[in-house]
Structure 1
């Protein structure tokens, strides 16, 4: 008699199968958000606000028992038997099944399945179950379960709710893959979930891939809600540019207090040895601080490459942000490494970019409607072997900025000021490069701004005053000043018209602009050191600036007028700017004689034409082009063009770019992500330099996605400081709901436009 019953039960659908729907059967609102590589998704077939077997916030055992079925047989003071469409409920506990027997003497209900218990966000099924009315304990055999939020499903030989907040799972399996698709799964002999404490524990845990064990933990502890819990995180493993082979990392999280924690990540890197990283986070009422450390006691590969070095290497990265009352904020960033090769050899998690200089900066800032104040200390560590002492940046110890604006009737008064103490090690320097010292700048301004819907005008006068007090100054007395009067007059008109194109209404504007600038700067300023000054790159935006130098050590002699024109087309349905075209030119009335040690001067009477074009004919297509064209020679001085395209779901990505600078740079750049199938995509980028006549960057890879895991394998070639093309292999494996290993996605996000957005959408709703 039992064999047919067992066979019938074995055919019963699991919790995941009950709520799983093929993509074609999902509502359009759900299907449109589903990634293309997913075959379907979960859709609850019924709803309930009951918490079911996973407990509630109040006791159920004091509530009366409610039971119903198609047929009932009751033995007074002994048993109640129910057959067909059975529903048992006590308080907020509810379960349905095929048959049920209530033993009044023992206070226990036995349910014969297939049985189902649905709650808010989960579904549970099983073969047989027992429920105690006195204790609230619920035991179910051959259980399957589905958690809708994380789309996580599983099964167990037995599942027990031993109290309102504690659940035991024996011989269980857990995965985020679809029904009957165990591409990966966590399997454990004993899982305990404690809702009161917000964590779970598991014994004898193994990670299985296609039902093959690949990793084992004897014991793990993990959170089951938003509360943090001390314990091991998922291991990271694979191949990385950080070593000569593979690496294995076992992160351990320490929940030290509600407002601070730490993560320790010991890792073994083949060819280098044991490497440790630690991150600490602290949250106060003012803001958050983060401290990250990396340390290896004996880097074998580094010691072999650098005879005489003991291989001891380290790095530190610290940051803090604080917000105080009344507009005041504080900030700090400090980065330091033991050697110039640390970042390229070891760094995988420190928040330090691959730069030539590491910044150490900290200060306070104030902002209000009419003024700002900023005071900070700023220094650098240079980590490039190719930067000479004379080209290393100055430290600012300190720098203080203050600015304010105020209206007096129709007049606008403003002030920009800066005090800086510049310092640089000058032991190996000579001449003006040895100079250190203090600089004070102040730029008061008086303007008369007038605005109307059809245009604007803004005449203004200002004074650019600079004072120096220098040490190690080789050209005489180090105390001197410079005063430069400046006049500006900015004018613009606005015309627009409405029309229609392909049935879409749009607004087109025509915006002519006339800008005049004059600055009576002294011609020879090369007795002043170069603390922070450079020649601004000439482009369209610079047409409306009075000074061709950045920083404060040069003020350009200026007598010029700019004529420019901008036209925009705006979609009146969506409000999107579909096109913007701008062109302008500067006409010089005098030669420019102020230079930065010989550069920055000119005798031309007019500038190249500066223009930029931005086209957005579709929400998924953008075309940008900017450049300089010399009408006298009929040649392009420089240019940058970029076409970028992505499909609405970002599965397709493509960009084509070209960068040109006369006599120095001519590079072409092509990048794409192209889906071959719904699950397989090809990834590539190629950068070619026509001046060097060689490839200076390349990237080629393949990506596989399905609804529960993905893998990326990417080969990257990159140009180094010593003009060589180095190569490395990057990869990433991502298990939905479990995390991943490797670092390919970070590199791809840096290399391919739109890839970061694509990553956000890969496993869920945008």
Structure 2
């Protein structure tokens, strides 16, 4: 019968005097020791022997072996037979036999295998323990691949003459290292240092990437990661090819109240010989006292094509901004400025509103006498053009204040009735435009009354239906006819602003006269997880407003019909569509998107059609498809596709393919993309990239990795 021994005897306690020497642990050394074995006996006065299914525990530490002998005279432990040592973390030591000091700080393990983070395996003929810090392994095979007993080699392994694991710095040092793929030697290094899997931020080289571009040639990017203290790091990535010499930088720093990130690069290439090219993108966010938030964003580049030549960004307008905000339940404050820089060949920075500043404040109040909610707001805005040319160099400054009151009631059989009334007053100061007065004062009163009637029912199949008709009467008197339209040139008509007092995106334009905004919405939630939504609405005016463009859908006495729908599953494919139709069912705008996340991948497809409209700087219609998808077509293989097709000009503007192989020990990414569009300063280009990363020498395995299994 198996016997169980409990106690604090010194001889038994010596078995676990310090197992943390083999694998660091956090338990206190005075925790009770439990020894379980088939037999535990004293052999003479100096030898304690435990044999047969021996298991010793102290806290979360566990030692399993067939036989343990403790010699009190020499203070040594002799451990035999299928040794397994766990420390309660993610480190496991396996061995055939061991001879260790009583505190396990010194000794030798034969036929040893060290497993770090249940991922990286180091199998050695012999492992020597030196002090509480170093573990030295001789004739070692290292891999993170699943190793089967069928004699087949792992996908990759590192063979080394000697490996030293420094538990204090958590680094692994290799001597005479040889990388093998399917047991075929492919790479040799006399010495090499890599972080063990427990390291989150290790100084050294990251996974290199081979990049081939039709404009930049074939090159290699070799990132080097440099941690700076506990809260900052710098990544330097040289990119070298026959066509370019580039250094890319990424700096990150975390503060107790925020963080910053800076991405930059500098290049000398054959695309623009003897000219240095560069870019800097930086952003940061900070939480300040009294609920203030500070955000900044810096974007700049040396020339208009650098970002797209190197695939850093597809932006054709850059914006650098500084913003200070504070939002509470009763107030909202904002102060900021933005600098714009256009990269479009059809635009000039001198005639664009490149410098914009704005300050705003809104206060919410709840007057007890009349109920409801009152809002008081202030706004100051300025945008400036560098050009001093008349009209095209126009600068605008505006100041406005507003006050309104709103209240809602539930009346009758579930009717929701809302009232709103208020006024905005202010003035515009205009420079460099001789066709307009320098200053224009204005006052805009406004009011609205809204009636909603939500109706809910449960269908025979358990689905819930919600039907909501809405009608709103709105009125405002616009007194800004002499003010130029600088900010409200692009107007979108959708369900988000169907019941707004003004569809113009900025206060330099406001809708005028009496109008009715009507809409009907229907939503169904199915018991099986299905979801359907349909909304229809339009605007009817007492007088025409000619400031809206033809394709906006808002011109004339009656707007186009706004149609929006969503059909699909709450956890499945979802189709969303929006369109504008006139009374003859002619379309002005169409947008449709299909999104689907499933077990093996994702799908995102979008169709867009816009009618030509010179008021919106669109000389011809726009019609295009975009597609992005990835699919796991085999156990370890995932494919990805990206595609953008111009239906008007009948050509593909952008296409990309990706292929990934990933299991528990390796990840290989192969990508190819082609940009077909060209302009006066940007040529079509093709880019191919390849990265190969070995798992086990980083902060853990990818969560999406599939682990191989052995065939029985």
Residue 488 of structure 2 is aligned with which of 533, 536, 542? 533
Q: Does 1:643 align with 2:588?
A: no
Does the CA contact (< 8 Å) of 2:553 and 2:580 recur in 1?
no
Deviation readout 1:681-735 (Å, 9 max, x if unpaired): 4433443332212223323343333343333433323343529754332444454
Whole-angstrom CA distance in 1 between matches of 2:592 and 2:436: 49
Superposition pairs of residues 595-614 of structure 1, within 5 angstroms:
604-614=556-566
Change (3 A) 1:250 1:326: closer
Question: What per-residue deviation string (whole Å, max 9, x for no partner) do you get for residues 554-605 of structure 1?
Answer: 22324211221111112468xx671111111211211114469x99897633
For residues 334-353 of structure 1, what are the structure 2 equivalents within 5 Å? 334-346=298-310, 353=313
**Counterpart Cα distance in 2 of 1:558 and 1:294:** 54
SS in 2 for 1:344: helix
Question: Structure 1 727/677 Cα, relative in aligned 2: closer, same or farther at 3 Å?
Answer: same
Say which of 90, 97, 101 aligns to 1:132: 101
User: Does residue 193 of structure 2 align to residue 232 of structure 1?
Assistant: no
Match of 1:715 in 2: 672
Equivalent positions of 1:242-261 (< 5 A) are 243-255=216-228, 257-259=229-231, 261=232
Offset of residue 367 of structure 1: 1.1
Alignment-derived partner of residue 11 in structure 1: none
Judged with a 3 Å threshold, the aligned counterparts in structure 2 of structure 1 residues 164 and 58 are, in CA distance, closer, same or farther, namely farther
* Aligned equivalent of 2:539, options 573, 581, 586: 586
| Structure 1 counterpart of 2:254 | 283
Distance 1:208 1:481, change over 3 A: farther
Cα shift readout 1:53-106 (whole Å, capped 9, x = no counterpart): 3033478699999695558682444x5666544556789865433445544432
Q: Does the 8 Å CA contact 1:71/1:84 hold for their aligned counterparts?
A: no
Say yes or no: does 1:562 pair with 2:517.
Answer: yes
Query: What displacement does 1:373 show?
Result: 0.7
Kept in 2: contact 1:52–1:94 (CA 8 A): no
Compute the displacement of 1:371 (Å): 0.7
Match of residue 659, structure 1, among 572, 596, 608 = 608
Q: Give 3-state SS (helix, strand or coil) of 1:540's partner.
A: coil
Could you give the per-residue CA deviations for residues 656-677 of structure 1, whole angstroms, max 9, x where no partner exists? 4432223512223455434443
Question: How does the TM-score come out when normalised to structure 2?
Answer: 0.83
Instruction: Provide the rounded CA distance (Å) in 1 between the counterparts of 2:135 and 2:523.
Output: 63
Displacement of 1:50 after TM fit? 8.0
Distance 1:69 1:694, change over 3 A: same
Q: Give secondary structure in 2 for the equivalent of 1:143.
A: strand
Equivalent residue number for residue 433 of structure 2: 473
Aligned to 1:695: 652
Instruction: State how far apart, in whole Å, the 2-side matches of 1:615 and 1:599 are.
Output: 26
Distance 1:62 1:696 in 2: 68
Aligned position for 1:493: 453
After TM superposition, the structure 1 = structure 2 runs for residues 410-449 of structure 1, keeping only pairs within 5 Å, are 410-427=371-388, 430-449=389-408
* Distance change (3 Å), C-alpha of 1:113 and 1:529: same
What residue number does 1:18 align with? Answer: none
Alignment partners' CA distance in 2, 1:616 and 1:331: 38
- In the TM superposition, residue 202 of structure 1 has moved relative to its aligned partner by 4.7
Asked whether 1:546 is paired with 2:546, we answer no
1:326 to partner: Cα distance: 2.0
Residue equivalent to 1:158: 126
Checking the alignment, whether the CA contact within 8 Å between 1:52 and 1:93 is kept in structure 2 is no
In structure 2, the CA distance between the partners of 1:475 and 1:216, relative to structure 1 (3 Å rule), is farther
Match of 1:116 in 2: 84
Q: Deviations over 1:239-267 (max 9, x none)?
A: 15483102131413133x334x3324141
In structure 2, the CA distance between the partners of 1:85 and 1:223, relative to structure 1 (3 Å rule), is closer
1:381 paired residue among 338, 341, 352: 341
**Residues 112-137 of structure 1, C-alpha deviation per residue, up to 9 Å, x if partnerless?**
33322234234322222111115632
* Residue deviations 1:279-330 (CA, integer Å, cap 9, x gap): 333333332223333234xx132344xxxxx232232232222112221111
Whole-angstrom distance in 2 between the partners of 1:539 and 1:252: 47
Q: Hey, what does 1:329 align to over in structure 2?
A: 293
Q: CA-atom RMSD, angstroms? A: 3.6
**Whole-angstrom CA distance in 1 between matches of 2:641 and 2:436:** 58
Cα 1:52–1:163 shift into 2, 3 Å:
closer
Q: Cα–Cα, structure 1 residues 457 and 82, in superposed 2: closer, same or farther, change >3 Å?
A: closer
Contact 2:442/2:480 (CA < 8 Å) preserved in 1? no
Q: Does the 8 A contact of 1:323 with 1:329 survive in 2?
A: yes
Whole-angstrom CA distance in 2 between matches of 1:165 and 1:634: 78
| Residues 200 and 221, structure 1, Cα contact 8 Å, conserved in 2 | yes
- What is the alpha-carbon distance in structure 2 between the residues aligned to residue 88 and residue 656 of structure 1? 59
Q: Distance in 2 between matches of 1:678 and 1:169?
A: 34
Counterpart of 2:710 in structure 1 is none
CA contact (8 A) 1:55 1:165 kept: no
> Where does residue 750 of structure 1 map in the other structure?
none
Number of equivalences: 668
Q: Distance in 1 between matches of 2:375 and 2:30?
A: 74
Instruction: Name the residue aligned to 1:748.
Output: none
Asked whether the 8 Å contact 2:209–2:689 carries over to 1, the reply is no
1:625/1:640 contact within 8 Å kept: yes
The answer as to 2:569 corresponding to 1:617 is yes
Contact 1:421-1:439 within 8 A present in 2 as well: yes
- Distance in 1 between the 2:165 and 2:521 partners? 64
Instruction: Give how far 1:444 is off.
Output: 1.9
What secondary structure sits across from 1:688 in the alignment? strand
TM-superposition CA deviations, 1:431-480 (whole Å, max 9, x none): 32212242112232122222479342222122233412233232354222
1:59 and 1:760 mapped to 2: Cα distance?
33
| 1:199-238 to 2 correspondences below 5 Å | 201-203=173-175, 205=177, 207-211=179-183, 212-214=185-187, 216=189, 218-220=191-193, 222=195, 225=198, 228-229=201-202, 231-238=203-210
1:524/1:594 contact within 8 Å kept: no
Aligned 8 A contact 2:539 2:554 in 1: no
User: For the residues of structure 2 that align with 1:61 and 1:465, how far apart are their CA atoms?
Assistant: 77
Partner in structure 1 of residue 9 of structure 2: none
Per-residue CA deviations over 1:602-652 (Å, capped at 9, x if unaligned) read 763311111111112362111212111112x232222222333332x2x14
Task: Please tell me whether the aligned partners of residues 52 and 92 of structure 1 are also in contact (alpha carbons under 8 angstroms).
Answer: no
| Aligned equivalent of 1:404, options 327, 347, 363 | 363
Q: Which residue of 2 aligns with 1:33?
A: none
Q: TM-score, normalised by structure 1?
A: 0.78
| Structure 1 residues 228 and 718, CA gap change in structure 2 (3 angstroms) | closer
User: C-alpha displacement at 1:334, in angstroms?
Assistant: 1.3
